[in-house]
Structure 1
Amino acid sequence: MNAESLFIGPQLIGIILLAVGFIQKRFPPKSINAFYGYRMPSSMKTQQTWDTANRYSAILMIKIGIVLIVTGVALSATLGVLNIKNDLRVGISAIILMATSIISCILLIVLTEKHLSKKFDT
């Protein structure tokens, strides 16, 4: 396993989600805006939904980030142990990176929207 394989794949998305989650948790957006925070129509209805959505999504980003980092490192180690040509390994890593990016975003939105609908009957 080489050094660059430690940062390609799900762990890259995990590191980004972890960093963004910590930043959003430490410096939550104070008011509804179009630039920073969890910006979906349901979260922008009232200040209370905005605060709840941003608090919940920050914690969720941290949790998803940790899971992706751990699984990404394990996956990189597995791909490194397998006797796969480097070109194929890079292709597999790229596909996994795209898939985990999409799945993470969908999961974040779905779970945050469910939380808001339970809490506010939207």
Structure 2
Amino acid sequence: MNVPIESWFIGPQLIGAVFIVMGLIQRYYPPKHINGLYGYRMPSATKNQQTWDEANRYSGTYMYRIGWVMLVMGIIITVSLYQIPMQANLRDGINVMLLIAGSIVPCVMLIISTEKHLQNTFHD
């Protein structure tokens, strides 16, 4: 198995690494006040300071956890893609599609999960 070095960095695992870093930043440096630049900024989170704090606490933890799942899955996918004989341009195309899906799906999951958590926590 001869996996090029760039494939270890540019692939689905890249999004996992970004989620881990963002989750850690949000966990250790949470936004103190409701703002338009930094934090989980959906309308349900910006209702008041209590919902803001809980949404940012929950979403930071969620990003950190899903980031590790994505990182491990990305490494497994990268190794698997190089085990299957195929043309390099097809492998690159699959990698790009997985990178795009790996960007969109976790973000949607983050929003859905955080919104459900806020609804269950605040019941209004």
TM-score bracket, normalised by the shorter chain, equals: over 0.9
The residue that corresponds to 1:39 in the other structure is: 41
TM-score normalised to the size of structure 1?
A: 0.97
Structure 2, unpaired ranges of 5+: none
Match status 1:87 vs 2:89: yes
Aligned residues: 122
The residue that corresponds to 2:119 in the other structure is: 117
Superposed CA RMSD: 0.7
| Equivalent-residue separation in structure 1 for 2:26 and 2:115 (angstroms) | 18
Secondary structure of the residue aligned to 1:73 is helix
For each residue in 1:43-91, what CA deviation from the matched residue of structure 2 results, as whole angstroms up to 9, or x when unmatched? Answer: 0001000000000000000011000000000000000111111111110
| Equivalent-residue separation in structure 2 for 1:70 and 1:105 (angstroms) | 17
| Equivalent-residue separation in structure 1 for 2:73 and 2:8 (angstroms) | 11
| Equivalent-residue separation in structure 2 for 1:12 and 1:101 (angstroms) | 9
| Equivalent-residue separation in structure 1 for 2:94 and 2:47 (angstroms) | 41
TM-score normalised to the size of structure 2?
A: 0.96
Matches within 5 A, 1:42-81: 42-81=44-83
Q: Tell me how far 1:8 sits from its aligned partner.
A: 2.4
- Residue number among 4, 23, 26 corresponding to 1:24 in the alignment: 26
Structure 1, unpaired ranges of 5+: none
The residue that corresponds to 1:15 in the other structure is: 17
| Stretches (4+) displaced over 6 A | none
Percent of paired sites with the same residue = 49
